[in-house]
Amino acid sequence: MSEATTRARIAAMWGEINGVRTAYANIPRVLQDAALPGAVVFPGRATHSKSDLGEQLIHEIRVYRMVLYLSKAAFGTEGQLEIETDPFFDTVLQHFAARPGLELNSEGANQTYSVLTVELLNDTGLVVGPYPLSGQGSDEYVQVGWDLQVEEIIEITYED
């Protein structure tokens, strides 16, 4: 799969999680209040090496940062941010751990393609900060980020 296809697959998996209103395969320039809680998938760095499976294949390991933006940060009832955020820690961990090949619920467990392994590496904990594309002075959001490592085989295509 390509990076864009893998990112779309991850966003589709976010769309299956209860409580997530929007899952973005492409990074939006701004976040709309009506779309929150919304998950944004940011492709991260990758390592590449020749595959032992053949000279036409590349072994890639890429880490995707998945950020769930829950709401705009506002002063309110003490503990409200934690109450809104807490369920997602376990739900996201369980959802991705149960799908080691980026399977969607509608496909069942027999899905096979280029993904070898998927591992949820860590989370950021509850964070309050700006949306990265909004610019300086933008609104602060309640958010949690997760790093998802995807290991896959990519076919080399030659273009003349």
Domains held by the chain: number: 1
Write the CATH number for 116.
Answer: 3.30.2000.10
SS3 of residue 22 by DSSP: strand
Tell me which DSSP letter residue 51 carries.
-
**Residues in the chain, how many?**
160
Q: What is the pLDDT of residue 134?
A: 66
Burial of 10 (0-12, 13-18, 19+ CB in 10 A): buried
Q: What is the mean pLDDT of residues 127-150?
A: 87
Q: Does 61 reside within a domain?
A: yes
Tell me the per-residue pLDDT of 59-83, one tens digit each, with 9 for 90 and over. Answer: 889 999 999 999 988 766 667 778 8
pLDDT score recorded for residue 59: 85
Residues 6+ apart with CB under 8 A from 134: 29, 30, 31
pTM for the predicted model, two decimal places: 0.87
Question: Cα(70)–Cα(37) distance, rounded to whole angstroms?
Answer: 4
Per the model's pLDDT, the better-predicted residue between 106 and 157 turns out to be 157
160 inside domain: no
| pLDDT for position 112 | 47
Q: Which domain holds residue 111?
A: 3-155
- Residue 76 inside a domain? The answer is yes
Residue 14 within any structural domain of the chain: yes
Report yes or no on 141 lying in a domain.
yes
Residue 13 in domain: yes
How far apart CA 2 and CA 35 sit, in angstroms, is 27
pLDDT above 90: percentage of residues in the chain: 54
**Closest listed residue to residue 84, CA positions, set 16, 15, 142, 17:** 142
For the chain, the straight-line distance linking the first and the last C-alpha, in angstroms and rounded, comes to 21
6-50 pLDDT, tens digit each: 999 999 999 999 999 999 999 999 999 999 999 999 999 999 888
Domain assignment present for residue 122? The answer is yes
